[in-house]
Amino acid sequence: MHENEKPVQIEINGVLDLHSFRPKDLSTLIDEYIDACLERKIYSIRIIHGKGTGNLRRSVHSLLERNPNVTGYQLADQTGGSWGATIANLSP
C-alpha cells in the first residue's frame, strides 16, 4: 500500500463491487470476502466485475474455481447485472 492510500472499507453484505480495487489485489480480496461472508452465514454472493474486455471476469472466475468454499458460479441474470456480474454459491 502506498503512503497516501487508505484501506478501503467494504460492507460484508454479499455484494462485492470490484471497481474500486486494483486487479493485483483480487486474489486476497476475493478469498477474504468469501471468508467474511461465510462468518456471517451469507452463502450466495454477487461479484460486480463490469463488462469491459472480459479479462477481469475471467480472473474472478479463475479465483472462484480455486476457492474450496465455492460450490458453483454463473453470470448474473438481467436483474443482477447480466454479464457484468457473477453470482457465486458458497458451501455452508
Which long-range contacts (C-beta less than 8 Å, at least 24 apart) are formed by 76-83?
76/46, 80/46, 81/46, 81/48, 82/51, 83/51, 83/57
The Cα 3–Cα 75 span in angstroms is: 37
User: What's the pTM value of the predicted model, to 2 decimals?
Assistant: 0.86
What separation in angstroms does the CA of 84 have from each of 31, 35, 57, 73? 20, 23, 8, 13
Q: What is the pLDDT of residue 78?
A: 72
Question: What are the domain boundaries of the chain?
Answer: 15-90
The pLDDT score that the predictor gives to residue 53 is 87
DSSP class of residue 3 equals: T
For each of the chain's 92 residues, which pLDDT tens digit applies? 445 556 667 889 999 999 889 989 998 999 999 999 999 999 999 999 998 888 999 999 999 999 999 999 999 987 655 768 999 999 98
| Assigned fold of 15-90 | Ribosomal Protein S8; Chain: A, domain 1 (3.30.1370)
Q: How far is CA 59 from the centre of its chain?
A: 10
pLDDT of residue 74: 96
pLDDT score, position 2: 47
42 three-class SS: coil
